[in-house]
């Protein structure tokens, strides 16, 4: 079978200023995929800057796999051009491999547009529908969709930026919409979180401890986008993913997530530890709820879910219909497969083999950048399933993410013991708060 995986990014990085080091490398992961599926031919369709499917060295594309084919489209190619390119390849199956876009998270919407056009041409394409992607791209739409389905959500107020600031461009005696927003947010319990409705990875999120602080944030010059003002929910933070397509889903048991000083999960700093299987958390009930979500919106691929467990109830905080910073941790460390294989397994219907009983324990934690000699030694450690040392330059800013993943353990105690062993072998790599945090979670 000829299988195409296409990957869409809309924010083009400058790799001449970036540093990217992945273990296993992208090349190694593609090679392993072809070994796992020797009877299939794989073609990778992407732009030449996509670090999610390509390795880079000195600002240029690095080693590539000679077991797969690569086809590149221009960075400004429209969806119809990519559809034409893919359709000319006469593939048996096309799979959207959708990474996060920073700062605006919307590349997977374009992937959905491409998939819908391919399916209309009679070419089987696996990807979330346009309706699913646009619903969960916007935090307010997500809130409304979850509320309609009967899920627990925190009280929130949507602020339409143009209406909120319309008095600045047109003359009114009073901005009635602004008064409405002030009235609504006064009814909320504080503190609240003020979130941009489209941005990725909590970028731009602010916390207001009282009504006056919320008004100050909303009326500041910095606030120039639609936002969601949402009650801050006290509770334990978790993350999980849903893998699958065509009605066959694997609902990953959740991972515990650490929070920053504001009590918010920062994906560039957070510790991940799991799976959490304690029945005090009503895991089976949660998985049933998430299966209902996947079936209602007919998920195809992966979807990442942010969760809070509070007063015995699960709340869904956010949904990202794409791969996430958690996908590789779940794949490499908990299921012994790359994110590429997660997508192919989902499309081919084999993902249900990964039941709760087969999930291994893993710890993902952030570190300071490691020099290459030390990094090579770290990667050789038996418990290391993945390392990522990246500092990507996008739109005038660097996004640094240096993390290590220990995994493949049969129990959380075994995972913690090996973390301690790793710390003895490589002193000063593991931050002290990682050890104390994981210890508290045992």
Q: Helix, strand, coil % (nearest 5) of the chain?
A: 35, 25, 40
- How far, rounded to the nearest angstrom, does the alpha carbon of residue 262 sit from its chain's CA centroid? 21
pLDDT at position 394:
79
User: How large is the C-alpha radius of gyration of the chain?
Assistant: 22
Interatomic CA distance for residues 250 and 295, integer angstroms: 12
Residues 6+ apart with CB under 8 A from 301: 95, 96, 97, 98, 126, 127, 128, 243, 245, 321, 322, 323, 343, 346, 347
Q: Please determine, for residue 289, whether its predicted confidence score (pLDDT) is greater than 70.
A: yes
Mode of pairing for the β-strands spanning 313-320 and 384-394: unpaired
Q: What is the dihedral of CA 308, 311, 314, 317, to 10 degrees?
A: -30
What domains are there in the chain, each with its CATH number?
A: 2-135+235-441 (3.30.470.20), 155-231 (3.30.1490.20)
pLDDT at position 80:
98
Comparison of pLDDT for 222 and 338, the residue scoring more = 338
How many other CB atoms sit within 10 Å of the CB of residue 160?
A: 14
What H or E segment, with its residue span, contains residue 316? strand 313-320
Question: Percentage of the chain surpassing pLDDT 70?
Answer: 98
Least confident of 32-46, 319-333, 413-427: 319-333
Least confident of 6-20, 84-98, 142-156: 6-20
The model's pTM is: 0.95
Nearest to 263, CA basis, from 196, 203, 191:
191
Section 180-208 average pLDDT: 90
Q: Tell me the per-residue pLDDT of 98-130, one tens digit each, with 9 for 90 and over.
A: 999 887 889 999 999 999 999 999 999 999 999
Nearest to 252, CA basis, from 300, 295, 304:
304
Interatomic CA distance for residues 9 and 421, integer angstroms: 39
Q: Angle at Cα 422 formed by Cα 400 and Cα 416, nearest 5°?
A: 95
Section 294-316 average pLDDT: 97
Q: Please determine, for residue 201, whether its predicted confidence score (pLDDT) is greater than 80.
A: no
Section 50-66 average pLDDT: 95
- How far, rounded to the nearest angstrom, does the alpha carbon of residue 303 sit from its chain's CA centroid? 8
| Mean pLDDT rounded to a whole number for the chain | 94
Interatomic CA distance for residues 256 and 275, integer angstroms: 8
Q: Please determine, for residue 290, whether its predicted confidence score (pLDDT) is greater than 70.
A: yes
Name the residue with tokens 């509320």: 147
pLDDT at position 182:
98
Q: Angle at Cα 185 formed by Cα 180 and Cα 187, nearest 5°?
A: 105
Q: Please determine, for residue 190, whether its predicted confidence score (pLDDT) is greater than 70.
A: yes
Q: Tell me the per-residue pLDDT of 333-388, one tens digit each, with 9 for 90 and over.
A: 999 999 999 999 999 987 656 677 789 999 999 999 999 999 999 999 999 999 99
Confidence of residue 30 (pLDDT cuts 50, 70, 90): very high
Interatomic CA distance for residues 266 and 366, integer angstroms: 11
pLDDT at position 351:
60
């Amino acid at each position: 079978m000829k299988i195409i995986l296409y990957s869409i990014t809309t924010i083009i990085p400058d790799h001449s200023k970036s540093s990217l080091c992945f273990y296993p490398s992208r090349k190694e992961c593609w090679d392993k995929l072809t070994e796992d599926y020797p009877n299939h031919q794989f073609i990778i369709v992407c732009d030449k800057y996509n670090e999610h499917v390509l390795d880079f060295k000195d600002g240029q594309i690095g080693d590539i796999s000679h077991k797969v084919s690569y086809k590149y489209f221009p960075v400004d190619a429209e969806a119809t051009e990519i559809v034409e390119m893919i359709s000319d390849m006469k593939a048996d199956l096309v799979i959207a491999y959708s990474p996060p876009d920073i700062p605006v998270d919307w590349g997977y919407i374009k992937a959905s547009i491409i998939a819908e056009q391919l399916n209309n041409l009679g070419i089987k394409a696996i990807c979330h529908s346009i309706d699913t992607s646009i619903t969960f791209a916007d935090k307010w739409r997500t809130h409304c969709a979850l509320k309609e389905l009967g899920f627990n959500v925190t009280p929130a107020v949507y602020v339409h930026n143009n209406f909120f600031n319309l008095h600045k461009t047109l003359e009114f005696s009073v901005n009635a919409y602004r008064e409405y927003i002030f009235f609504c947010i006064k009814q909320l319990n504080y503190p609240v979180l003020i979130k941009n409705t489209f941005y990725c990875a909590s970028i731009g999120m602010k916390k207001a401890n009282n009504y006056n602080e919320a008004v100050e944030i909303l009326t500041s010059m910095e606030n120039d986008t639609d936002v969601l003002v949402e009650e801050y929910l006290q509770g334990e933070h978790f993350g999980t993913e849903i893998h699958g397509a065509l009605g066959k889903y694997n609902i990953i048991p959740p991972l515990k997530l650490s929070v920053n000083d504001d009590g918010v999960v920062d994906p560039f700093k957070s510790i991940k530890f799991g799976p959490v299987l304690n029945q005090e958390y009503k895991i089976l009930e949660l998985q049933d709820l998430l299966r209902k979500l996947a079936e209602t919106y007919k998920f195809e691929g992966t979807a990442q879910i942010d969760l809070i467990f509070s007063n015995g109830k699960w709340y869904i905080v956010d949904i990202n219909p794409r791969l996430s910073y958690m996908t590789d941790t779940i794949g490499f460390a908990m299921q012994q497969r790359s994110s590429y294989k997660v997508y192919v397994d989902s499309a081919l219907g084999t993902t249900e083999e990964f039941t709760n009983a087969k999930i291994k324990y893993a710890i993902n934690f952030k570190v300071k950048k490691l020099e290459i000699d030390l990094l090579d030694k770290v990667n050789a450690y038996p418990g290391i399933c993945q390392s990522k040392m990246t500092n990507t330059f996008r739109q005038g800013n660097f996004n640094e993410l240096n993390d290590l993943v220990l995994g493949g353990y049969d129990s959380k105690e075994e995972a913690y013991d090996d973390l301690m062993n790793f710390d003895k072998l490589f002193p000063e790599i593991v931050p002290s708060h990682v050890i104390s945090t994981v210890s508290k979670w045992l």
